[in-house]
Amino acid sequence: MKKLLLLVAIFISQIGPVFAQQPTPAEVLDLSCWKISLPIDAKGTGKATTIDEKKIADGFVDKENFYVNEAGDGVVFSSPIKGVLTSKNTTYTRSELHEMLRRGDTSIPSHAPGKGINKNTWVLSSAPEADQKKAGAVDGTLDAVLTVDEVTTTGAVWQQGRVIVGQIHATDDEPAKLYYRKFPHHQRGSVFLAHEPVGEDDQMYSLIGTHVPDYYTQDGEVVEPADGIKLGEKWGYQIKVVGNELTVTIRREGKDDVVQVVDMSKSKYDAGGQYMYFKAGVYNQNKTGKPEERATATFYDLKVTH
């Protein structure tokens, strides 16, 4: 009997890890102030699926687009080129978190065009005092540690390998969009920032490598950034806003931080009615490649402070 029990114990110890339940995204990252948009139509409405803070906290997983990696220490965001879109205003798919200051309190409305400033959104400390009183917070910082694991390789050259991994969204415009981009024939990718003043075109800032697509080089090819970031390489970013000053910092182990400061004093985000919220995850910036190609990133840390 003792021998049999010993054999059973050995067997259980060997198969235990196989049947160990993988953690959910909410068990790996603090997602209490986030909802997520996914490029699938779960309800048959023709619209992208949105999962609110409560459902994420209850253990929501999407095995293709939003799940925990095999090591159990990171949350994977993935989005194919062809998928269900979030609105008529976009032509790109996303698996992307949207900040929800209400943290599950549904008595506070979600942010949406026309709903204005409320306790679910934040404003700049340079905004009118009345707006600051209505908002849920003033100024903010988004910190993330991630790897970009997969980018697209087909389609129009100017769209290949592009993905947005962090944003600030305002009422109608975007004060900050942080891009990672790697071309198919390169080993390393670039990182760049787009700042969009209210009602104007993006202002581009190269952080690592360059933001230009497929021109401005001697031989017609994009030069691979010598100090670029490889797929699967861990790095971090911080997007910070204090009043009219936007600061984006890129961090890598063993290397100096890359810092870009943007003066937003003429960008009109300090005018009345401009509310903000952070976004993080994967916003695939390719719509012309093979439908099944994906942009994928794994987030190992994600923090918001106000």
Residue 186 located in a structural domain:
yes
| pTM, to two decimals | 0.91
Write out the residue range of the structural domain in which residue 259 sits. Answer: 30-305
DSSP label at residue 23: P
Q: What is the mean pLDDT of residues 296-303?
A: 98
Q: How many domains does the chain have?
A: 1
> Would you state the pLDDT for residue 21?
84
Residue 256 located in a structural domain:
yes
Residue 135 located in a structural domain:
yes
What's the burial of 219, exposed, middle or buried (CB within 10 Å: 0-12/13-18/19+)? Answer: exposed
Residue 18 located in a structural domain:
no
> Would you state the pLDDT for residue 260?
98
Residue 274 located in a structural domain:
yes
> Would you state the pLDDT for residue 222?
77
Q: How far apart are CA 40 and CA 246, in angstroms?
A: 33
* 172 CB neighbour count, 10 Å cutoff: 12
Residue 141 located in a structural domain:
yes
Q: What is the mean pLDDT of residues 226-232?
A: 96
Q: What is the mean pLDDT of residues 57-86?
A: 97
Query: 27: pLDDT confidence band, cut at 50, 70 and 90?
Result: very high
Instruction: Check whether 218 has a pLDDT greater than 50.
Output: no
Q: What is the pLDDT of residues 85-114, one digit of tens each?
A: 988 778 999 999 999 999 999 999 887 666
CATH of residue 233's domain is 2.60.120.200
Residue 245 located in a structural domain:
yes
Tokens of 293: 């190609």
Give the Å distances, CA to CA, from 103 to 6, 33, 107, 119, 209. 49, 5, 11, 10, 37
Encode 50-74: b = buried (16+ Cβ within 10 Å), e = exposed.
ebbbeebbeebbbebbbbbbeeeeb
Residue 134 located in a structural domain:
yes
> Would you state the pLDDT for residue 6?
47
Q: What is the pLDDT of residues 113-165, one digit of tens each?
A: 667 899 999 999 999 999 999 999 999 999 999 999 999 999 998 899 999 99
